[in-house]
Amino acid sequence: MGRRRAPELYRAPFPLYALQVDPSTGLLIAAGGGGAAKTGIKNGVHFLQLEQINGRLSASLLHSHDTETRATMNLALAGNILAAGQDAHCQLLRFQTHQQKGKTKAEKAGSKEQGPRQRKGAAPVEKKSGAETHQEGIELSVENLQAVQTDFSPDPFQKVVCFNHDNTLLATGGTDGFVRIWKVPSLEKVLEFRAHEGEIEDLALGPDGKLVTVGWDLKASVWQKDQLVTQLHWQENGPTFSNTPYRYQACRFGQVPDQPTRLRLFTVQIPHKRLRQPPPCYLTAWDGSTFLPLRTKSCGHEVISCLSVSESGTFLGLGTVTGSVAIYIAFSLQRLYYVREAHGIVVTDVAFLPEKGRGPELLGFHETALFSVAVDSRCQLHLLPSRRSVPVWLLLLLCVGLIITTIVLLQSVFPGFL
């Protein structure tokens, strides 16, 4: 049997580093670039329209936004506002979709020769800066809003950005170890504090205002504003390795399925140093209120590069530095799906198809869909087929039928049984 392969959904003309999915419009937003180096590789944010065509999920380019000399390395989405991490800065973008009023004759003539849909292996269509592409009467425009420097280390770089639950604030972290909180959309700074000695690798904001940060100092901390609430200790109920230091690579909050008022925190732990015989990486689920570890399981020897939690908190998505992609069930941390070296190079981001808005329409008969992007410029689709289950009422009906059949057979063999 050949190796499982994930379908290629889209190929960009630059390395891809960040990914978001807008639930209301069904837009897949992929960003990246070649940076400031004069290599001829552009920098941009691509807005892709997701559609079901002949029972298959496909993506077509709706708009290409040029980010000039800055590659977008991380993204956060709040409604129609994007927060893009570009070098040491955070740039806010506002996008809007509207119905196209009509094409000019030149556009109609040009549409016969080239369209926005990017076929596998096809060279991308070159566009001028600010130009729009259209699809089926829909057009999209992007506006640059405020921008602010968010990191001030000698080699400044913003590594992560996220919005709070009501999208009024965003938090940033980078190589200087400071967390900075900003108002949206003015980007007025409201809070700043040192969270880690060294780089901040990831952060997550909970709906109660608590902030979780993980850094290169091997620590994971929970904050209420700038006050330390507690530190996480994943090995309390898990494996211990006296000679192998681990650090936290990623952290994400997720809902508890069927209990919308409760939260789980999920973290990934990876070896701090690369070894000839790499030890396993680990996934840990935490209680979202007490921050005590609930369950820890190994997720293989490939080093994890990114983590995502589905909208309902049912699934976890993982990418690795060797290009593999996996889907886990959040409750048991059991692996349900795995494609080894799907990209063949580091997976830079993964994101689930939302379960609200246009999500169910696009998902079709599958249980969930995970998108992955990598430095190889490709966006891939990972579909988890619906797991077959028998309804409880049918099981009860079968049991009753089995009992009746047994009684009838006994009565026919032993007439005086009843």
Q: Is the pLDDT of residue 122 over 60?
A: no
C-alpha 309 chain-centroid distance: 7
pLDDT band at 117 (very low <50, low <70, confident <90, very high): very low
At the second CATH level, the architecture of 8-99+138-387 is 7 Propeller (2.130)
Q: In the chain, pLDDT over 90 holds for what percent of residues?
A: 70
Query: Residue 93: is its pLDDT beyond 50?
Result: yes
pLDDT confidence bin for 105, thresholds 50/70/90? very low
What CA–CA distance (Å, rounded) separates 157 from 372? 23
**The pLDDT of residue 203:** 97
Cα–Cα distance between 260 and 324 in angstroms, integer? 31
126: its two tokens? 């070159």
**Contact in structure between 387 and 12 (CB atoms under 8 Å):** no
What's the pLDDT at 101? 65
CA distance 139 to 143: 14
> Which structure tokens are listed for 234?
């994943």
Torsions phi, psi for 59 (to 5 deg): -135, 140
Q: How confident is the model over 364-408, as pLDDT tens digits?
A: 889 999 999 999 999 999 999 886 555 566 677 888 888 888 777
* Residue 351 near residue 18, CB atoms below 8 Å: no
Q: Predicted confidence band at 413 (pLDDT cuts at 50, 70, 90)?
A: confident
Query: How does DSSP assign 103-140, residue by residue?
Result: --HHHHHHHHH--S---TTPPPPP--TT-B--BTTEEE
The confidence score (pLDDT) of residue 115 equals: 38
Nearest Cα residue to 337 out of 2, 75, 90, 6: 6
Q: What pLDDT does residue 236 have? A: 74
What is the rounded average pLDDT for all residues in the chain? Answer: 88
The percent of residues above 70 in pLDDT, for the chain, comes to 87
Domains of the chain by residue range: 8-99+138-387, 390-417
What band does 39 get if pLDDT is binned at 50, 70 and 90?
confident
Average pLDDT over residues 181-207: 97
pLDDT level of residue 2 (50, 70, 90 thresholds): low
Average pLDDT over residues 4-19: 94
What was the pLDDT predicted at 237? Answer: 66
323: which DSSP letter?
Answer: S
From residue 117, how far is each of 123, 125, 162, 287 by CA, in Å?
A: 11, 9, 30, 44
Give 1's pLDDT tier (boundaries 50, 70, 90). very low
**What is the pLDDT, as a whole number, of residue 418?**
63
Paired strand residues for 372: 350, 380
Does residue 14 register a pLDDT over 60? yes
Least confident residue range of 38-47, 60-69, 397-406: 397-406
Q: Does the pLDDT value for residue 129 go beyond 60?
A: no
- State residue 5's pLDDT score: 83
The answer to whether residue 71 scores a pLDDT higher than 80 is: yes
pLDDT (mean) for 196-213: 96
Yes or no: say if 185 and 208 are a contact pair by the CB < 8 Å rule.
Answer: no
Distance CA 140, CA 211 (A): 34
pLDDT reading at 52 higher than 70: yes
pLDDT of 213 strictly over 70: yes
Label residue 363 left, alpha or beta by phi (over 0 means left) and psi (-120 to 50 means alpha): alpha
Q: Which residues fall within 8 angstroms of residue 374, CB to CB, at 6 or more apart?
A: 15, 16, 319, 323, 343, 345, 346, 347, 348
Arithmetic mean of pLDDT, 52-72: 94
- Residue 160, pLDDT above cutoff 50: yes
* Confidence tier at 241 by pLDDT (50, 70, 90): low
CA distances for 209 relative to 73, 310, 331, 394, angstroms? 25, 20, 24, 45
